Amino acid sequence: MSNYFPILIFIFAFLQIYMIANYTLLKQYVISVFESIGCNEQDAILAADVLVSADSRGIDSHGVARLAGYIRLFDHGRLNPKPNIKILHESPSTALVDGDRGLGLVVAPKAMEIACGKANVAGTGWVAVQNSNHFGIAGYHAMMAASQDMIGWAMTHAAPLVTPTFSRERLLGTNPIAVSIPALHEPTFLADFASTAVAYGKLEILQRKGLDTPDGWVQDANGMPSNDAFAIKNGGALLPLGGDREHGSHKGYALGAIVDLLSGVLSGANFGPWVPPFATAGFMNAGETVGKGTGHFIGAMRIDAFRPAIEFKKDMDIWIQRFRNAEAVEGQKVIIPGDPERVLEVERKANGIPLIDPVVEDLKALSVRFNLDFKIA
Amino acid sequence: MSNYFPILIFIFAFLQIYMIANYTLLKQYVISVFESIGCNEQDAILAADVLVSADSRGIDSHGVARLAGYIRLFDHGRLNPKPNIKILHESPSTALVDGDRGLGLVVAPKAMEIACGKANVAGTGWVAVQNSNHFGIAGYHAMMAASQDMIGWAMTHAAPLVTPTFSRERLLGTNPIAVSIPALHEPTFLADFASTAVAYGKLEILQRKGLDTPDGWVQDANGMPSNDAFAIKNGGALLPLGGDREHGSHKGYALGAIVDLLSGVLSGANFGPWVPPFATAGFMNAGETVGKGTGHFIGAMRIDAFRPAIEFKKDMDIWIQRFRNAEAVEGQKVIIPGDPERVLEVERKANGIPLIDPVVEDLKALSVRFNLDFKIA
């Protein structure tokens, strides 16, 4: 991989990238920003780790590109930098957790800690979280369980950009699910995917290039098929995984709905079209709510509550090797969920994280505001 | 709906249907068949209820059309009509269950009973099942939890018909997931869907009519896009939900993989390409296995282990009404997962279940073999 680094740099430059940030310096800078709004050191480190892990794994839309957004949340009084995260109700294998308007980046890992603690005693642990905010990449939280020989689950809902099948109204978020399943010698299986045909970030790339979308990604304001990369800004919507009814969009809709019902209704957070947007100003004046903040649903299942972990993990190795060695379509190969992000993480931690111009400008502006050294490369 | 019944009959007749079976008589007949192979009365009633519920809900591919297949399983020594279904290992919220080669139609409901029992004490219950067989429709088992104010989960894997993204080899089954979530005055939300773009049954309909498939349903033996309704018989495969990489097939692949890993690897059953086919003769000679029979994964989450069930169910009503009343694409309406099957169930229990010619012939042959009255209409 590292042989291609010069080529990558060239491509990045072409795509408006002008800086390759150093992983450690970037994380240190993010820590200092979170501390500037009042987070304690421990929380700031945790939040920065979640955020920069998105960048290092190539999920740039959920990394430091969002840092300014989290600070806007704080500015608008929606983010409590010193949350009292507490269990409101519990049973041996469950807990309802109040995130106290904290950073989802901090609330979700703490919910996973609670889930793993429950799983240690009761076999599994399931935590519904209310009153939280955007939690970054779901995969980070799910992965926390794997190192403890547990299967990890993380879901969250988000503000409505997606239409149920046959709807003109956007009622669901991109509502991702992550599941991590540890193996023995093979790396952990990590599925982490939105319940839509594509991530919003892919539309943004087309917007920058002035290109149309393929069929099956978006619809227009009348619910008709569209190829407009700006469809959402023009009253349209992202389509559920499957695209249209003929290709199973009712399944993507069902999946997004399950995530919303577990993250929102089961937790007592908002749900459906009432889920608050990440950090836009418009929402700050929106009056109607049906619950508390944004919700998540986090789970951990101890493997040896089912069968001996060593036997399970040997079978995982067999599964992974069989799939990875499958006869592939010419010129392609079959990969395991989590492969590309893991490879990129090693690459970027060693060689740096490419940041596009607008993101660097946003980061720099925060350094001026908080009087911080801006040294990330 | 019942006003349309004469029209339905006409359409059914056009589609090779020649009999409208009576729900109660059909079920009674299925009970007598299961008793003929040695099932006790209680198990035969349960198995028949699961099977005929598929027909009454319109999932004809998983109903009495499969009865002869279950009997073939018995003939080939793969089905134990008197299974000793037992817990091999457990924790407060989990159990590993040995289905003892019983009917999945019986094993899965018993696994759900165990899950609900665990949930009553520990908040949630999760049961991995090994050494079972085809369990009918996932939705039946998931629904068992809803009446107890629990969220129900049911998954199973199946023999490989589906290719991971970029694979030419079929390594996954259609691997369905069902989740049931109860509401207050509104009916239970019931998502029950395969992790493929379409069900295999839809290909069979096109085969009978001599029509091609739409794009994105199947691929040919080289992994190239195909419109051949006979693609699977010609070495091709069903595609994961999403269809191709550009439309998110890696997400459908991940979903099918999660179902396989929970149903197969976590339970100690077979997994991936080793999952035994439903009831074909060919498999009977297949030597290689990596685990015990077919596996399932069943779960129950007690709602008031998170928040008061009454509050939750009121919010479910708000969610369902908001989605059902969404502004729809012209000429369409937005429905809730489970709506069509529930409507059809009322209709068919009252007015009968249409059966196509080959299915009636299969059923009749069983009556000759077991010396049973064949009175289903």
CATH number of the domain encompassing residue B8: 1.10.1530.10
CATH label of the domain that carries residue A122:
3.30.1370.60
Question: A83: closest CA among A67, A66, A112, A105?
Answer: A105
Which residues of chain A neighbour B214 with C-beta distances below 8 Å?
Answer: 246-247
Residue A77: strand pairing partners: none
pLDDT of residue A199: 85
Written as one letter, the residue type at A44 is A
pLDDT band at B226 (very low <50, low <70, confident <90, very high): very high
Write phi, then psi, for A31 (nearest 5 degrees). -60, -45
Alpha-carbon distances of A25 from A22, A286, A358, rounded to whole Å: 5, 38, 19
Q: Are residues B159 and B298 located together in one domain of the fold? A: yes
pLDDT of residue A272: 97
Is A124–B94 a contact, with Cβ atoms under 8 angstroms apart? Answer: yes
Residues B195, B343 contacting (CB under 8 angstroms): no
CA–CA dist B97, A315 (Å, integer): 18
Out of B166, B247, B254, name the one closest to residue A337 (CB). Answer: B254
Q: Are residues B60 and B169 located together in one domain of the fold? A: no
CA–CA dist B146, B183 (Å, integer): 9
Three-class SS state of B353: strand
Chain B nearest C-alpha distance from A204 (Å): 15
pLDDT of residue A285: 43
Query: A343 in a domain, yes or no?
Result: no
Average pLDDT on B282-300 reads 80
Q: Residue B11's domain spans which residues? A: 2-75+352-370
Average pLDDT on B151-177 reads 97
Which residues of chain B neighbour A327 with C-beta distances below 8 Å?
Answer: 167-169
pLDDT of residue B51: 98
Query: B143 in a domain, yes or no?
Result: yes
Asked if B268 has any chain A CB less than 8 Å from its own CB, the reply is yes
Query: B343 in a domain, yes or no?
Result: no
> How many CB atoms are located within 10 Å of the residue A130 CB?
26
Of residues B18 and A294, more confidently modeled: A294
Q: Are residues A274 and A153 located together in one domain of the fold? A: yes
pLDDT of residue B247: 96
Is the predicted pLDDT of residue B1 greater than 50, yes or no? no
pLDDT of residue B208: 83
CA–CA dist B53, B344 (Å, integer): 11
CA–CA dist B315, B309 (Å, integer): 10
Write phi, then psi, for A87 (nearest 5 degrees). -85, 125
Q: Are residues B64 and B163 located together in one domain of the fold? A: no
Out of B126, B214, B261, name the one closest to residue A246 (CB). Answer: B214
Burial of A32 (0-12, 13-18, 19+ CB in 10 A): middle
Q: What angle do CA A242, A246, A252 make, to 5 degrees?
A: 25
CA–CA dist A183, A187 (Å, integer): 6
ipTM metric: 0.96
CA–CA dist B152, A261 (Å, integer): 13
Which residues of chain B neighbour A194 with C-beta distances below 8 Å?
Answer: 251
What residue in A sits closest to B314 (Cα-Cα)? A265
Average pLDDT on B11-34 reads 85
Asked if A196 has any chain B CB less than 8 Å from its own CB, the reply is yes
pLDDT band at A280 (very low <50, low <70, confident <90, very high): low
pLDDT band at A284 (very low <50, low <70, confident <90, very high): very low
Q: Which residues between 283 and 342 in chain A have a beta carbon less than 8 angstroms from any beta carbon of chain B? A: 290-291, 301-303, 305-307, 311-312, 315-316, 318-319, 322-323, 326-330, 332-335, 337
Asked if B273 has any chain A CB less than 8 Å from its own CB, the reply is yes
Residues A239, A162 contacting (CB under 8 angstroms): yes
Residues A126, A87 contacting (CB under 8 angstroms): no
Write phi, then psi, for B34 (nearest 5 degrees). -65, -35
Residue B189: strand pairing partners: B181
pLDDT of residue B285: 43
**Which residues are CB-contacts of B19 (< 8 A; sequence separation ≥ 6)?**
B354, B355, B360, B376, B377
Question: What is the arrangement of strands in the sheet containing B225-226, beginning at the earlier edge strand?
Answer: B225-226, B218-219, B237-238
CA–CA dist B159, B294 (Å, integer): 9
Query: B346 in a domain, yes or no?
Result: no
Average pLDDT in chain A: 94
Q: Are residues A124 and A193 located together in one domain of the fold? A: yes
pLDDT of residue A202: 86
Q: Are residues B168 and B50 located together in one domain of the fold? A: no
DSSP A4-49: GHHHHHHHHHHTTEEEEE-HHHHHHHHHHHHHHTT--HHHHHHHHH
pLDDT of residue A2: 46
Three-class SS state of B246: helix
pLDDT of residue A12: 60
Question: A295: closest CA among A87, A51, A98?
Answer: A98
Which residues of chain A neighbour B251 with C-beta distances below 8 Å?
Answer: 193-195, 241
CA–CA dist A110, A260 (Å, integer): 20
Looking at mean pLDDT, say which of A11-20, A194-203, B279-288 comes out highest: A194-203
Is B124–A323 a contact, with Cβ atoms under 8 angstroms apart? Answer: no
Query: B202 in a domain, yes or no?
Result: no
Question: B221: closest CA among B168, B173, B165?
Answer: B168
Residues B302, B149 contacting (CB under 8 angstroms): yes
Query: A233 in a domain, yes or no?
Result: no
* Calculated CA dihedral for residues B238, B241, B242, B243, nearest 10 degrees: 0
Is B323–A258 a contact, with Cβ atoms under 8 angstroms apart? Answer: no
Q: Are residues A69 and A98 located together in one domain of the fold? A: no
Q: Are residues A158 and A276 located together in one domain of the fold? A: yes
Which residues of chain A neighbour B275 with C-beta distances below 8 Å?
Answer: none
Residues A127, A94 contacting (CB under 8 angstroms): yes
Written as one letter, the residue type at A202 is K
pLDDT of residue A263: 98
Asked if A34 has any chain B CB less than 8 Å from its own CB, the reply is no
Which pair of tokens denotes residue B372? 């049973």
Alpha-carbon distances of B171 from A327, B158, B275, rounded to whole Å: 10, 10, 9
CA–CA dist A85, A129 (Å, integer): 10
**B196 DSSP 8-state letter:** B
Average pLDDT on A215-242 reads 96
Q: Are residues A70 and A103 located together in one domain of the fold? A: no
Structural domains in chain B (count):
2
Alpha-carbon distances of B161 from B168, B251, B269, rounded to whole Å: 11, 17, 18
Is A307–B268 a contact, with Cβ atoms under 8 angstroms apart? Answer: yes
Helices (H) and strands (E) in chain A, counts: 11, 12
Which pair of tokens denotes residue B269? 């059953």
**B64 DSSP 8-state letter:** G
Is A257–B191 a contact, with Cβ atoms under 8 angstroms apart? Answer: yes
**A163 DSSP 8-state letter:** P
Is the predicted pLDDT of residue A145 greater than 50, yes or no? yes
Which residues of chain B neighbour A290 with C-beta distances below 8 Å?
Answer: 315, 318
Q: Angle, nearest 10°, between helix axes A41-56 and A339-351? A: 110
Which residues of chain A neighbour B273 with C-beta distances below 8 Å?
Answer: 322
Query: A330 in a domain, yes or no?
Result: no
CA–CA dist B260, A333 (Å, integer): 21
Which residues of chain A neighbour B262 with C-beta distances below 8 Å?
Answer: 151
Out of B91, B214, B261, name the one closest to residue A189 (CB). Answer: B261
Question: B316: closest CA among A258, A138, A109?
Answer: A258
User: Which of B274, B294, B309 marks a domain boundary?
Assistant: B309
CA–CA dist A168, A160 (Å, integer): 12
Is B273–A322 a contact, with Cβ atoms under 8 angstroms apart? Answer: yes
Query: B159 in a domain, yes or no?
Result: yes
| Mutation target vs B (from A90, A93, A116, A213; most B CBs, 10 A cutoff) | A93
Chain B nearest C-alpha distance from A66 (Å): 24
DSSP H helices, chain A, are: 5-14, 23-36, 41-56, 67-75, 104-122, 138-146, 200-209, 249-260, 309-324, 339-351, 357-370
CA–CA dist B359, B296 (Å, integer): 27
Three-class SS state of A178: strand
**B124-132 and B94-98: which strand pairing?**
parallel
Average pLDDT on B14-34 reads 89
CA–CA dist B258, B243 (Å, integer): 18
Asked if B166 has any chain A CB less than 8 Å from its own CB, the reply is yes
Q: Are residues B31 and B164 located together in one domain of the fold? A: no
Q: Are residues A148 and A38 located together in one domain of the fold? A: no
pTM: 0.96
Chain B nearest C-alpha distance from A128 (Å): 7
Q: Are residues A193 and A262 located together in one domain of the fold? A: yes
Three-class SS state of B150: strand
Is A315–B254 a contact, with Cβ atoms under 8 angstroms apart? Answer: no
